[in-house]
Structures are given as C-alpha cells and as structure tokens.
Amino acid sequence: MQAIIVGSDPEDLAAALEAHDVTVTNAAGTADRSSLLDAGVEDADLLAVTDVGLATSIPVARELNPDVRVVVYARDSVPEFVRASTALIVDPALIDPDTVAEELA
C-alpha cells in the first residue's frame, strides 16, 4: 500500500502507517499538482491530509487519481468543498495515529 501525507503531520501518522507496512511519501510545500505528482499520487492508495489549510490538494489528487482514498487527520474543521471527496475525517484528539493506521492499512 502506498500513502501520501499532505501537511506537517504533527501527530506522526506517517510513522504509524509505516509500522503497518505502508510506504509513505510526503507532498512537499503546498501539495500542489507538481508536488503530488512527485510524491506518486497517480499510484497512491491513500492521501492523508494532516493540515486542512492544504485541503485544495484533495480535488487535485482526485483528478490525478480518482481511486485514491482521502483521509483527513486533523484537529481543524474540513472545508465544505472537500467533504464529499473525503472517505474519512478524524480528529486526532479522538483517535490516536496507531489506531487510524491500523484501520487504513
């Protein structure tokens, strides 16, 4: 399984996913189209957004890979325009990263 992390990942979801044998890359900077392509979005199974300020990366990622599963793992509210494109929205205050990673892997 391949996952892309969008955002600074303060809860360290990437490490939790890697502990479940998921290959993780990061979309650099603002996670624009170029960064998502560099991170391998076309072949990714999962896009994990850890900073809702970068939510604009979600429709771009879905355009490049309509089958990518999108998860938002952040404390802030998710903008309305991406809710329909998101498979799961989780507040880290409610579920720890290991539990989320176990469910996603």
Helices (H), 1-105: 13-18, 33-39, 57-64, 80-83, 97-104
Among 14, 75, 79, CA closest to 47: 14
Give pLDDT, residue 88. Answer: 95
pLDDT band at 23 (very low <50, low <70, confident <90, very high): very high
Give pLDDT, residue 67. Answer: 97
Average pLDDT, whole number, for the chain? 97
42: tokens are 């076309």
| Dihedral sign of CA atoms 43, 88, 102, 55 in order | positive
Give the pLDDT confidence of 34-63 residue by residue, as tens digits: 999 999 999 999 999 999 999 999 999 999
pTM: 0.96
79/12 Cα distance (integer angstroms) = 22
CB 83 within 8 A of CB 39: no
